[in-house]
């Protein structure tokens, strides 16, 4: 077994030692991908730890389960409470990644998930950067694989099985020497990364694919859209053609794990001048402030773990 990332794990309603949080090899989810999950971050903010958009992540997890025809056996409040209690029990005081998962456990080999009880687990562990080699930004490729989605599966769900598609593209991309892959959807338009949404900027117009393009509706994406709207910058959610990728001025990924990551090249073609552009830098900086409670407008996004103090000072956006 790999080295424990935490002392304790929340598993089916109890906090148990890491070693006890195990699943039988006949689990339905292991064979058939029948589970839904979330990726959440918590940030160290002064001497508090704050969970970013916890309720929204839990809500998306419940909706992902609904799309696959099952309910979580715990309420949203119980799930949020479990996340906080788990962090407290582990006595974590650094930035964290939090991974709740609800999945179909052991029955026989029948594909029908309906009679199978749903197990729920939450893991939280110290975490900083997703891309260890990310310096200024990422060099990515357009995957030869298309993004999984409708009409075969509800792509808007964050379901375990969907990630076989991400893993496939990510491995292909890595083999070819890229940092990350970008998917097109079945219609041939720009979709998303293996675990990120994408934004492009061209002639000061910002665009990102809309929900009908088969993306996961990223919570980071929603946060970035809120910031862009606050700044009243020209912005649209629309179909983006593959060819637009090669002539845009800036491109960046958003996602809980990657946060805001500048894209420096796509298919070895430089984006803009090959350095993070002004919109990307502004979004990245504002996002970093927002997650740490330095944007007074979005304090409601933060759930303090230890509840010791008011985490925040005033907004300090130098661009306003
Ligand atoms: N698309 C996919 C396929 C993802 O896995 C993720 C990560 N959850 C995202 C987009 C970004 O979503 P979020 O900002 O909520 O992390």
Helix (H) or strand (E) holding 228: helix 219-230
> Is 319 a residue whose pLDDT tops 50?
no
Q: Which two tokens stand for residue 275?
A: 């350095």
pLDDT at 131: 76
Q: Tell me if 171 sits within 8 A of 180, measured CB to CB.
A: no
CB of 39 within 6 A of ligand 1: the answer is yes
What domains appear along the chain, each with residue ranges and CATH number? Answer: 8-126 (3.30.470.10), 138-291 (3.20.10.10)
* Confidence band for 135, pLDDT divided at 50, 70 and 90: confident
pLDDT attached to residue 310: 46
Contact 50, 303 (CB under 8 A): yes
Give the model's pLDDT for residue 133. 63
Encode pLDDT of 9-66 as tens digits: 999 999 999 999 999 999 999 999 999 999 999 999 989 999 999 999 999 999 999 9
To the nearest 10°, report the CA torsion of 191, 192, 193, 199. Answer: 120
Name residues whose C-beta falls within 8 Å of residue 187's C-beta, 6 or more positions apart in sequence.
Answer: 213, 239
Greatest Cα pair distance, the chain, in angstroms, is 59
Q: Over the stretch 208-262, which tens digit does the pLDDT of each residue have?
A: 999 999 999 999 999 999 999 999 999 999 999 999 999 999 999 999 999 999 9
User: Which residue from 256, 260, 283, 301 has its CB within 8 A of the most atoms of ligand 1, so it is best to mutate?
Assistant: 256
Could you give the C-alpha distances from 165 to 13, 76, 150, 162, in angstroms and in order? Answer: 31, 29, 14, 6
Tens of pLDDT, residue by residue over 92-110, are: 999 999 999 999 999 889 9
What is the Cα–Cα distance from 104 to 248, expressed in whole angstroms? 43
For the cut 90, the answer to whether the pLDDT of residue 155 exceeds it is: yes
Chain mean pLDDT for the chain: 94
Task: Give residue 318's pLDDT band: very low, low, confident or very high (50, 70, 90).
Answer: very low
CB hemisphere CA count around 239 (13 angstroms): 10
Expressed in angstroms and rounded, the spacing between residue 109 Cα and the centre of ligand 1 is 30
3-state secondary structure of 111: coil
Ligand 1 near 64 CB (within 6 A) = no
Check whether 316 has a pLDDT greater than 50: no
What ranges make up the beta strands (E) of the chain?
8-11, 14-17, 35-37, 40-45, 48-52, 96-104, 118-126, 138-146, 180-184, 190-193, 197-202, 205-208, 235-237, 250-255, 259-266, 269-270, 302-304
149 C-beta closer than 6 A to ligand 1: no
pLDDT, tens digit, for every residue of 162-171? 999 999 999 9
> pTM for the full model?
0.94
The CA 110 to ligand 1 mean position distance, Å, reads 30
């Amino acid at each position: 077994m790999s080295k424990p990332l935490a002392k304790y794990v929340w598993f089916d309603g109890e906090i148990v030692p890491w070693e006890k949080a195990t699943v039988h090899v006949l689990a339905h989810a292991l064979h058939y991908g029948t589970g839904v999950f979330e990726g959440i971050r918590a940030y160290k903010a002064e001497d508090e730890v704050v969970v970013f958009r916890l309720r929204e992540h839990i809500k998306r997890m419940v909706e992902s389960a609904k799309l696959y025809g099952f309910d979580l056996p715990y309420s949203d409040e119980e799930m949020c409470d479990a996340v906080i209690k788990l962090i407290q029990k582990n006595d974590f005081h650094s930035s964290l990644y939090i991974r709740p998962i609800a999945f179909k456990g052991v029955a026989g080999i029948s594909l029908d998930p309906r009679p199978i009880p749903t197990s729920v687990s939450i893991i939280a562990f110290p975490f900083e950067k997703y891309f260890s080699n990310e310096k200024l930004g990422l060099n990515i490729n357009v995957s030869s694989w298309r993004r999984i989605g409708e009409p075969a599966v509800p792509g808007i769900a964050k379901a375990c099985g969907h990630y076989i598609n991400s893993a496939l593209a990510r491995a292909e991309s890595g083999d070819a020497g890229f940092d990350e892959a970008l998917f097109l959807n079945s219609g041939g338009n720009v979709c998303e990364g293996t675990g990120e949404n994408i934004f492009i900027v061209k002639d000061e117009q910002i665009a990102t694919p809309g929900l009908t393009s088969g993306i996961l509706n990223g919570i980071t994406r929603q946060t970035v859209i809120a910031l862009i709207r606050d700044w009243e910058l020209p912005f649209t959610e629309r179909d983006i053609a593959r060819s637009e990728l090669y002539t845009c001025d800036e491109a960046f990924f958003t996602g809980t794990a990657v946060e805001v990551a500048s894209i420096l090249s796509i298919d070895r073609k430089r984006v803009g001048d090959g350095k993070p552009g002004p919109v990307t830098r502004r979004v990245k900086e504002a996002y970093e402030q927002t997650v740490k409670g330095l944007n007074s407008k979005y304090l409601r996004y933060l759930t303090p773990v230890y509840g010791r103090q008011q985490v925040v000072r005033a907004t300090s956006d130098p661009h306003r």
